[in-house]
Structure 1
Amino acid sequence: MNWVTRVRNAIPFIAKRETVETLWHKCKGCQSMIFLKEYEENQSVCPKCDYHGRIGPAERFAAIFDDGSLRVLPMPKVVEDPLKFKDTKKYPDRIKAARAQTGETDAMISGHGKIDGQPAVISVQDFAFMGGSMGMAVGEAFVAAAQEALVNKCPYIIFTAAGGARMQEGILSLMQMPRSTVAIQMLREAGLPYIVVLTDPTTGGVTASYAMLGDIQIAEPGALIGFAGQRVIEQTIREKLPEGFQRAEYLLDHGMVDMVKHRHELKATLSNLIGYLMASKKAA
């Protein structure tokens, strides 16, 4: 043992210091510094400007489901690298990194539980997992969650957040668009509600499929919702787009969504909608 090791081992353990990064959060809306604990307790909504930050499945489930009612659905198994895709990194390496970062298997997590005592199945897309991109695993998770709703005769609710289809899976990713559409049609034929909550951001192939097929379309304030990016549209039509284009409030004004609801109001809103839409089922 050299002298460096002896000196290092003799130093008493010192707990990790709290820094600016662990104590404070800088709001992307108003640039204010917010105490991190206060920000997280407010469901990642800025208490000063109401900017809605992005949150993952665990936070969503905790905010929407009744305490102790959540049962996380198992993630369906799929071929993880069907095209043997490689760009600057191998696709399996990107998946491993995303799993290590988020602790999730893929970009969509589903759960069955109760909302004010009413059963429902909820799926949440996690933008932190490869931009919430829609690959085969997401498609399988969507179909499995819809089937769970069919078996339990309850509504299916999805919180979307995605950059679109997963390019590393090519046409196999795009095939999830019609597959999810068929699953939604099965819910409709069974008379079960399909409710979509659009969160920031929801774009690309997800917007072109299950994100815009809800019986009720809800959006969070300020959420970016669209198919192509604003810059691409401007270059294509050679016109300047209006202020707030592709934001939730603009889409509400133009009839693309049914309502824009604050994150704190979502549970009560979903509970009321389930009560209205499932009234005939309960009577039967």
Structure 2
Amino acid sequence: MSWLERELEERRLNRLDLLIWPIGIAVAILWALPFVWMVSTSLKFPADVMTQDIEWLPSRVTFDNYIKVFEYPVVRWGVNSLIQAAAATFFCVLFGAMAGYALARMNFPGRNLLFVIFLASLMIPVEVSVIPLLLAFVKIGWASSYQALILPAIGNVFSVYIFRQFFLNFPSELEDAAKMDGAGPFNLFFRIALPLARAPAIAASVIIFTLNWNSFLWPLLVTFDESMKTLPVGVAAFTPVVGTRTQIEGYSVAMAAVTILSIPSLLLFCFLQRYFIQGISQGSVKQ
């Protein structure tokens, strides 16, 4: 490629960037607007929520909505959610990495078929398995317990997919060198493969933690005690709709509760976004 051709190619790419960047910024703003409105409403007085003129920023600020939220056992609900989401994420990432490594690096009959079955399970609605699971946990006496909240969330096909795609591109020279030193399958995985899979592990952790933290249906069904509720289930109590009537004064309190619920996921992504993007790209682009 000549110098002139390279220059024309760079200019074409720059023009394409000029088109893509404004579109990307516009989409990002549209995604951020509901969050801005949520935080703004949580800081408003109830009388300032329903107004003729749209107020993106509150004309007067109050923190009474957050005080009303913390009159409920929000801290206890948050601790339950943290225990459930952290434990489920840890085991889900660990088992997903083990399954992904086996599907990518080990040769056994039906390997590809098993992976296809894993992917096909994503098409099965969660509601199909909720009732049998609930009956099973109630029968063995594990309802309203941490094991009931954690165990069903351990299996996640998305975690297996991310690790399988990463380990498909894993250098075989590292495994060959370890095998020459007498390393077995478990040593290969825990001492060689897993420590080098930091990026996909972080990417899977962010996604799975967010899913578990925001999980609503299963914790709603399996927790019968107030002390075992998770934060999403507890936040649902702040809904401003009661029967067929809408309580306008409840909107600001509900927005305060939802803001508290969204903070951990946002902080986690902000701190780990670089590794998250790297892990997703490594798991989706085959080198």
- TM-score normalized by structure 1? 0.26
| Larger Cα-atom Rg | 2
Structure having the higher strand fraction is 1
- TM-score normalized by structure 2? 0.26
Higher relative contact order (CA 8 A, sep 6+): 2
Structure having the higher helix fraction is 2
